[in-house]
Structure 1
Amino acid sequence: MKTFSKRALLRASAAPAILGASLIASAAMAQDAPQAAEADMGDTIVVTGSLIRNPNLQSNPVLTTTADTIELKQNNTAEDILREIPGIVPSIGSAVNNGNGGSSFVNLRGLGSNRNLVLIDGDRLVPAELNGRFDLNNVPVALVERVGVLTGGASTTYGADAISGVVNFVTKSDFSGLEANISNQITEEGDGNYFRADLTLGANFDDGRGNVVFAVGYQQSDPVYQGGRDFSFDNIDSYSGLAGGSGTSTPSRFTNVNVTGTDNGNGTRQITADGTAFRSTSAFDAFNFNPYNIFQTPFERFNMFGAARYEVSDAVEVYSRGIFSKNTVNTIIAPSGAFGIAVDVPLSNPYLTAAQRNAFCARDTNPAAGVYTPLFTQAQCDAAALATDPNDPNYQTVSTAFSRRSVELGPRVSDFTTTFFDYKIGARGGITDTIDWDVSGAYGESENIQTQQGYWLNSRVRQALLATNTETCLDDSNGCVPLNAFGGNGSITDSMNAFLNADSQIATKTSLAQVKGLINGDFGWTVPWATDAVAFALGGEYRKYTASQESDLLSQSGDLGGAGGAAPNITGGYDVYEAYGELVLPIVQDRPFFEELLVQGGARYSKCSIDAAGSPGCETWTWNVGGMWSPVSALKIRGNYARAVRAPNIAELFAPNNTGLTNLAVDPCAGDAPLNNANLAAVCTAQGGGAFLGLIENDPAGQVNATSGGNLALSPEKSNSWKIGAVFQPDFLPGFSATVDYYNIKVTGAITTPTPGDAISACFDNLSASSATSDACTSIQRNPATGNLFGESTTTPGLFLGLSNLGTLKTDGVDFSVNYGRDIGFANLSLSLTGNWTGSSKFQASPSSLNRECTGFYSVNCASIQPEWQFSQRTTLAFETFDISLLWRYIDSVSYEPAAYEDDLAAAIGFGCEDPEGADPDGCMVDPEFRKIPAEHYFDLTGRFHVSDNITLTLTAQNMFNNKPKVVGSTLGSTAYNSGNVYPSTYDALGRRYAAAVKFRF
């Protein structure tokens, strides 16, 4: 029988888990204790938060989800797995339609998806985009053995970026045999079909000296349309509580129209349904975009994973790992169109009716004076109707902002195809029986190709409106076809649409090269009162990141109607050099009241050089100290303090200023408010809205333009985090364990932008005579054609949300778990409870900004919901050939953000609302019905049948009671998360689902 030294035992499992970052939790830390037993000496002993492999080191609490839990829940993606863990705030994923870039991310503790690290077997992998975030779609779910989540600063162990913690997906090691899995999931409504198939092959060879494992997988999901659910079919306005939608509607809307021919009669008017005239009032039919949007993005994925190791000699083992995946994500949103763009229309346009032409001619040229002066006399207007040649003295055009939804063209579709690979090779061995070495290198690339279809081009809309006959445009280049923007629904023909739209493409490419070396083990000597030796780890690491965004000319131009702005070319990169060390010192062991007492500490030095002139680069130290005291074997008390950093990523450094979209329901300059307040009028005028006072609108869709970009002067942000907790495993109750851990994380010098509410408050709170010249106010720039904060990105910068190091983030809370398992005679009973209480989650954009609290609140400023209380409780009964398991998930109630309510109230008073805080606030305030989402309880029931030693059948009913999400309307939160009148990333919008899976093992 082959024998192993202590060193060989410590490195006996598969290669990917060797480098000190695999998350192995003892039963006391596990989410499911029966499946997360403490590692024995035949496993790789690695402790989260330390590079020292010590089975007794438990000073860092880790939430662990096991393969068994994943199988019972029938999770199809890594995002699904993490969504069930309390304390993780929903980030971009499958439920995000408008704002999804083809990737899925994780957001630990609500501190931002760019402030944590996602690891596979302890390794960083190439990020998906310029913000440095790893795409969860690339995780090989079929091979995941467990998932560990560590909260708090972990930069000393894992390097920069691990400010809020790490998520590590640990794959199955030393797999031998064949395992095939086929599963299918469908909603009770018959949509959202999700198919998955995986095949894993593995073998040991050469008398156990080597192992190889290879897995392939395929996944495919269908969309779930918001029009397929009663609660989301109609777009609901969060303020009025009525069916609403977008101001870019059908038939067309035009500004500077005066139907009545009176003083101050100018306004935005919509074409009548029959396409013959303009409506006499400013009321319009909002476009209901909900039915086009989706709750589950279509997804297709092919993936491969391979790992191998071979013990060349008793002293050296070589290993390798490779991951490849190709993912396609489709986002589908409502049709494109012209979103309030400035156009010139000849009065001889062949599609203009006489009534429509007269309304343009009747524009009041000086409405502020209260004296009606039409733009053209009737005679001039009639003559211009016949002047088809621009050289004719009677030829006239009118300038107007044009809005029209291209319903005849169909929805906007973005296909995101990501090709990803990451390979690693290394060698490890022993220097002595107690000291090991490990050297490895890895390289990965990710390429995301976004193809956008179904978009009108603003330039071609302008060209097609400059027509004086139905056959050709005045500029007939590009095969121009005149546009009938003045008829009713259906007036735009296929030939018109063929000219107006074109596909565009954006390629995002990233790469990561890394080399690292580690020496760890113990010194072979102990302090006088301890039995374990003093352990250490020393290492160095080099990483090189590159990233680029390469857009075609169309995407760069900002010419796509409703694309949210231009996509500029961006390129950049940086190198990181690091050295680090850790020490674990057992002080007292096996003594009365000191079953164990140990302390640990570590430090890491990092230096980065940035590929750009003028950048200061970065040079930082991070460190941590911690310890554990076990007065008796049943109780462990642990604590940790860490200093962590995050260097600015490539997007934060290199992205040029660019105008996109953000969310804001209430514009202080809208309506009549500026007419009754001289200081407000001066501010609105300074921002470019002076010609439109009294006519400025709130965007019915709750979106406004915002400008932001990178900043080469940014420096690393810093965080201080500390944790203290206890583990209780009483001897008198075998199978029982409980943990409780308090965490506190504060980020200073945070790289952040102001929230929309911060930008508005900085200008409009406490208005004075000097406000109109303040930077906070003049940095906001309005649409020159309408005075609104929304419109064409090339002319309307909107709010300025610049990046800086002025931000502060803070959160604290408690993680807790209770686990119990025992044989009750006729079955094995397993009970587990994992929960989180979040005490606070605060964000302050600058020292002068509001210190905004988002725990338990939602608004445009608190994008994704973080409830105060959350827990998941699973009960499983395991019989000889059958398991039945019930998962209960609880989400605490949440409310509309008080600070946002106060902002709404101030604006409502400015608008002259009669009773804004009454039971019926007349659309001035968020509808009272939408200001609270009650607590939610979800139940999932699973039955697992062990048909034979080789076949297992699993049946699951998810959201067993078919709970519907609470409707809050679509205009009180961030578009990415407040969609379809609900918050579908937090609350189940799909309804009851049935899943079936069969697994074959040989």
Structure 2
Amino acid sequence: MMFYRKQAGIGCSILALAISAQTATAQDTASAQPQANDIIVTGSRIARRDLVAPSPIVTASAEALQATAQPTVDAALLQMPAFQPGAGSFSNSSTGGTVGQSTLNLRGLGAQRNLVLLEGRRLQPGSIDSTIDINTIPSLAIGNVEVISGGASATYGSDAMSGVVNFKLRKNFRGLEMRAQAGISGQGDAGNQQLGVLYGTAFAEGRGSLIISGEYAHRSVLSSQDRDFSKYSATSGFISQGYYVPQAGNFASQAALNSVFGKYGVAAGTVTGTTNLGFNQNGSLFTKTAPAYNYQGPTTNPYVSTPTAFGYNSNFYNFIQVPLKRYNIFAHSEFEVDDHTTLYAQGLYNDTSASTQSSQPILAAPWQLDIPVTNPFIPADLKTLLASRANPTATFTFNKRADEAGPRAFTTEGQTYQGLVGAKGKLTGLDGSWDLYASYGEGLNKDITTSGAMSMSAARTLINAPDGGASICAGGYNPFGITQLSDSCRAYLMRRLVNKTKVTQTAIEGTMEGRLFHLPAGNVRFAVTAGYRRNTYKFNPDAASIGGDISSITATQPTTGATSVAEGAVELLVPLLADTPLAREVNLDLGYRYSHYNVSGGVSAYKASLDWRVAKMLLLRGGYQHSVRAPNIGELFLAPSQTVTNIGLPPSAGDPCDARSAARAGANAAKVQALCIATGINPALYNSFTQPTTSIVTQTQGNSQLTPEKADTFTAGAVLQSPATAGLFRRMSLTVDYYNIKISQAISPLAANVALQKCFNTDGSNPNYDASNYFCKLFGRDATSGLFTTASQPYLNLGGYKTSGIDAQFDWHADFADLGLGGKGGVTLNVEGNYLSQFDIQVLPGSAYQNWAGTISSTASYPRFKLLTNLAVDIGKTQISGRWRHTSGFTDSSRVTSASSTVPGTPAYDYFDLSARVKVSDKFELRGSVNNVFDKQPPIVGGVAGTTNLGVYDVVGRAFMVSATARY
């Protein structure tokens, strides 16, 4: 993939654009590249007559994006070393939500900390966290994409902490372009198709212009069972047969246990009163942990029964590529009223539908069934054990994976609208320009639970009925064993939920820029900006969700909220030196912005940067940015929202109270035991307690007391261009940039897996093993089973982030003549890399920073080194290119919070891609590609079978793509 950085100086060679310049139409080329007399570089509001960028900027042309052969724009940009996975095709969810959206994540600091713009203007957010769904941007209408890495709040306002991604349009396009693209994996699945049309025309004798695009995209599902690496996962103890949970102080007698299990040939004393017992279809009992004595049920996937593992493959129903359908319509028009004023209008509509699913709901605390001993379906052998208890008439706790409910399946239907009108023009006296626009947009999401939603009140009504519910629905509800429901009982128990979310944005902004006065080194230029923005949030949950009646779904409430901001900014460009022996040009760029938010008050952002053209071949640049990010409407007002969080697997991770956990061994074993009991583990169960799953249900909720984040960013770099004017090395350049970003008062939910380890002092956060420690108080346990009933992940102003590293890019192009070869054509080489020297996270203010650089988990990654290399050869009308994608090896993230962790990391990974383009004629072009040529499969992440990082590693495998483009 060819990307290039904004270079400095007239005559600078943008090497990586060489290929796209050969394939674009004349009109397209004109629109994709800045004009010499009117240049707005992303990161500044001031027009300049050069290509100088004091901050590191990478530009990807439309041709470069298409050459990646990725089905979506976000997937293409993800290959750039500056990006880490946001949300995308791999973002399967166990709770529905905004499935199908795709976001960008600069520097790994989170999608909410980089700002996505279209022509320098804000887009309509697709969700309550104010992030932009890249699916809403019309890919055919994109001319190029400019990425500035580093804070830019002084220029663009809140959200621009880690950088800005600015999509530029093909506004001057004329004619008709149609494109069809289709892809499929080497195994014949994971297909994707795209159809698009772009039309551009002029009217009113050339004073007006119009572009209209329409697109359709389809992406097929890829199930976990479609790939060997994901077929099996860590075994979950929640089983479809259900199991009896003994209650402390009311265990079955050992004599009764010996008698019942003696009939099965199990030695006396093997099964004790604390053992959880499951149910075979014939009513006999089995022990729920490996080896499962007397288990007579299925043993094939998703059921697991071996001498060392017993339970359920909870990965069985998951998707590793989320299916998607998308329709997009976009239009942009401009009309030149006179030489000084142009009117413009823009409209965008996007309709997306995506589906996801996970394993069946869990009937466990707080959704467990407490079954009376009068229930008619209780198997005879269990009745014998119940009767032997000290209190034989007491109800008993029953847990189950509700296989009868079906997998939890969700469909998210999203519509995004945005309309924009504005006017712009020239300020002749100031050699400047002005721009004023207003926009309004809505993001509408409908989250539909189509399967796996069981009404707990209905289930308890059937369980407590004297006839087991047979008089309510045919056959009643027999939970013991693998349950088969009649149609009437299914209708009685199951629900279809519809939750609706509406997000709106109103924005008004005006900018004026021009010349102030003249200095010996040149003109001092300025830009002033004033704006107002309002975002609203409205959440209408299903009535059953409000009541908290649905299995594995926490209760929530209708919620509304609004934020607004009024702000003003000023920027100055001061030329300091020009045409001196050591400085052909030195410029200082200063900026300040004041923003007042209705919730969090006033904040300031500012910047100072310098570009120094030492000589024609050398540019030095650097700067400082103080950025802010106000809490968004989701962080402020989010209704209680359920997520499923992976806490890992013992001994190195998981629940420290689990009998398999390494935390229970060693010098602090007694303190761990005391803390487990103090936080809810029944002492009688402690020795045998196991957490039956690697994931727990957590709850996140907004916090209106949040304050803005603050960030300080330093950058320093150099652009080196070849001094040669002819020959092999005349079109060669190298850029190297250092960045250092520090964020304080970071807003984030406190991850449950991290809080759990901190509660148990694995990293020194709770040296006294105190149950009143902040981290410990985030969890609640069921007094009977010890399972988690609550696990809070509150939004807080936590500690902060410190990240630093080096970006480098090398570009080279040579014609065949330069290489001593005959014929027309040439070779282009582009190498882009990032070295991450630091990624420190401070969980709470005042606590120690921990370095996560070079670590990976199933949901996050911080690669030490990431490299993207592209080599392309042009031979006449044919281009052949190869791409090498390299990611360095990782250590497992558990080692950051637990020094004793033995969870293995992952090795360095390399992917190789091939592509070819044939320009059949001036109006028709064919492309073909093979991604992941060697079909490299993803590694295991976290030491848990079936678990990888779906955003870092290629889960599809070898994939093929063909496309055809026709222009008229």
TM bracket, shorter-chain basis:
0.7 to 0.9
Cα shift at 1:89: 1.0
Change (3 A) 1:74 1:762: closer
SS at match of 1:358: helix
Structure 2 counterpart of 1:452, from 446, 449, 452: 449
Cα shift at 1:830: 1.1
| Map of 1:520 onto structure 2 | 513
| Map of 1:7 onto structure 2 | none
Question: Does 2:965 align with 1:999?
Answer: yes
Q: What amino acid sits opposite 2:523 in the alignment?
A: A
| Map of 1:90 onto structure 2 | 85
Question: Does 2:584 align with 1:595?
Answer: yes
Change (3 A) 1:812 1:900: closer
Change (3 A) 1:768 1:405: same
Question: Does 2:62 align with 1:62?
Answer: no
8 Å CA contact 1:696–1:787 kept in 2: the answer is no
Q: What amino acid sits opposite 2:514 in the alignment?
A: G
Residues 736-793 of structure 1 show CA distances to partners (whole Å, capped at 9, x for unaligned) of 111010000000111234333542344322777782344443443212331122xxxx
Change (3 A) 1:471 1:448: closer
| Map of 1:787 onto structure 2 | 786
Change (3 A) 1:997 1:658: closer
8 Å CA contact 1:25–1:64 kept in 2: the answer is no
Cα shift at 1:32: 4.9
8 Å CA contact 2:200–2:210 kept in 1: the answer is yes
| Map of 1:988 onto structure 2 | 954
| Map of 2:658 onto structure 1 | 670
8 Å CA contact 2:461–2:469 kept in 1: the answer is no
Structure 2 counterpart of 1:760, from 752, 756, 759: 756
Structure 1 counterpart of 2:280, from 268, 273, 293: 273
8 Å CA contact 1:674–1:684 kept in 2: the answer is no
C-alpha separation between the residues in 1 aligned to 2:530 and 2:347?
A: 23
C-alpha separation between the residues in 2 aligned to 1:854 and 1:696?
A: 34
Residues 537-577 of structure 1 show CA distances to partners (whole Å, capped at 9, x for unaligned) of 012011011112210111223333234x3343221111100
| Map of 1:511 onto structure 2 | 504
8 Å CA contact 1:679–1:768 kept in 2: the answer is no
Question: Does 2:753 align with 1:737?
Answer: no
SS at match of 1:81: helix
C-alpha separation between the residues in 2 aligned to 1:413 and 1:31?
A: 44
Cα shift at 1:631: 1.2
| Map of 2:494 onto structure 1 | 501
C-alpha separation between the residues in 2 aligned to 1:116 and 1:80?
A: 17
Change (3 A) 1:637 1:721: same
Q: Which runs of 4+ in 1 moved over 6 A?
A: 22-30, 672-676, 766-770
C-alpha separation between the residues in 2 aligned to 1:649 and 1:248?
A: 37
8 Å CA contact 1:201–1:213 kept in 2: the answer is yes
| Map of 2:296 onto structure 1 | none
C-alpha separation between the residues in 1 aligned to 2:72 and 2:433?
A: 35
8 Å CA contact 1:30–1:65 kept in 2: the answer is no
SS at match of 2:112: coil
What is the aligned residue count? 889
8 Å CA contact 1:541–1:579 kept in 2: the answer is yes
8 Å CA contact 1:194–1:220 kept in 2: the answer is yes
Deviates more, 1:947-956 or 1:425-434: 425-434
| Map of 1:571 onto structure 2 | 560
Change (3 A) 1:165 1:362: farther
Counterpart mapping for 1:415-494 below 5 A: 415-433=411-429, 434-455=431-452, 456-469=454-467, 472=470, 476=472, 482-487=476-481, 489=482, 491-494=484-487
Deviates more, 1:956-965 or 1:686-695: 686-695
Q: What amino acid sits opposite 2:656 in the alignment?
A: P
SS at match of 2:128: coil
8 Å CA contact 1:360–1:398 kept in 2: the answer is no
SS at match of 1:601: strand
C-alpha separation between the residues in 1 aligned to 2:474 and 2:852?
A: 51
C-alpha separation between the residues in 2 aligned to 1:23 and 1:308?
A: 29
Counterpart mapping for 1:249-268 below 5 A: 249-256=239-246, 258=252, 260=254, 261=256, 265-267=272-274
Question: Does 2:357 align with 1:347?
Answer: no
C-alpha separation between the residues in 1 aligned to 2:644 and 2:109?
A: 22
Counterpart mapping for 1:531-542 below 5 A: 532-542=522-532
Counterpart mapping for 1:57-206 below 5 A: 57-98=52-93, 101-102=98-99, 103-206=101-204
SS at match of 2:428: coil
Cα shift at 1:582: 0.5
C-alpha separation between the residues in 1 aligned to 2:571 and 2:594?
A: 12
Question: Does 2:842 align with 1:844?
Answer: yes
SS at match of 2:368: strand
Cα shift at 1:519: 0.8
8 Å CA contact 2:439–2:506 kept in 1: the answer is yes
Question: Does 2:906 align with 1:933?
Answer: yes
8 Å CA contact 2:176–2:199 kept in 1: the answer is yes
C-alpha separation between the residues in 2 aligned to 1:362 and 1:142?
A: 73
Cα shift at 1:709: 2.4
| Map of 1:375 onto structure 2 | 391
| Map of 1:248 onto structure 2 | 238
C-alpha separation between the residues in 2 aligned to 1:397 and 1:205?
A: 83
Deviates more, 1:804-813 or 1:317-326: 804-813
Deviates more, 1:824-833 or 1:458-467: 458-467
SS at match of 1:760: helix
C-alpha separation between the residues in 2 aligned to 1:850 and 1:273?
A: 51
Q: What amino acid sits opposite 1:181 in the alignment?
A: R
8 Å CA contact 2:855–2:892 kept in 1: the answer is yes
Structure 2 counterpart of 1:648, from 631, 639, 654: 631
C-alpha separation between the residues in 1 aligned to 2:37 and 2:206?
A: 15
- Unaligned regions of 5+ residues in structure 2, if any? 22-28, 258-268, 293-309, 649-653, 818-822
| Map of 2:322 onto structure 1 | 297
Cα shift at 1:251: 1.4
SS at match of 2:808: strand
Cα shift at 1:891: 0.7
Cα shift at 1:46: 1.0
C-alpha separation between the residues in 2 aligned to 1:439 and 1:303?
A: 26
C-alpha separation between the residues in 2 aligned to 1:669 and 1:87?
A: 39
Residues 162-193 of structure 1 show CA distances to partners (whole Å, capped at 9, x for unaligned) of 11111112121211000000011011111111
Q: What amino acid sits opposite 1:869 in the alignment?
A: F
Cα shift at 1:493: 4.2
| Map of 1:229 onto structure 2 | 227
C-alpha separation between the residues in 2 aligned to 1:691 and 1:451?
A: 42
- Unaligned regions of 5+ residues in structure 1, if any? 1-21, 238-243, 364-373, 377-395, 611-616, 790-795, 906-924, 972-978
Structure 1 counterpart of 2:596, from 607, 614, 628: 607
Q: What amino acid sits opposite 1:569 in the alignment?
A: P
8 Å CA contact 1:23–1:147 kept in 2: the answer is no
8 Å CA contact 1:225–1:292 kept in 2: the answer is yes
Report percent identity of matched pairs: 29
Change (3 A) 1:280 1:158: closer
8 Å CA contact 1:129–1:547 kept in 2: the answer is no
Q: TM-score, normalised to structure 2's length?
A: 0.87
Cα shift at 1:980: 3.8
C-alpha separation between the residues in 2 aligned to 1:144 and 1:64?
A: 12
8 Å CA contact 1:28–1:728 kept in 2: the answer is no
C-alpha separation between the residues in 2 aligned to 1:750 and 1:30?
A: 39
8 Å CA contact 2:850–2:896 kept in 1: the answer is no
Cα shift at 1:33: 5.9
Question: Does 2:387 align with 1:361?
Answer: yes
Q: What amino acid sits opposite 2:698 in the alignment?
A: A
Q: What amino acid sits opposite 2:589 in the alignment?
A: Q
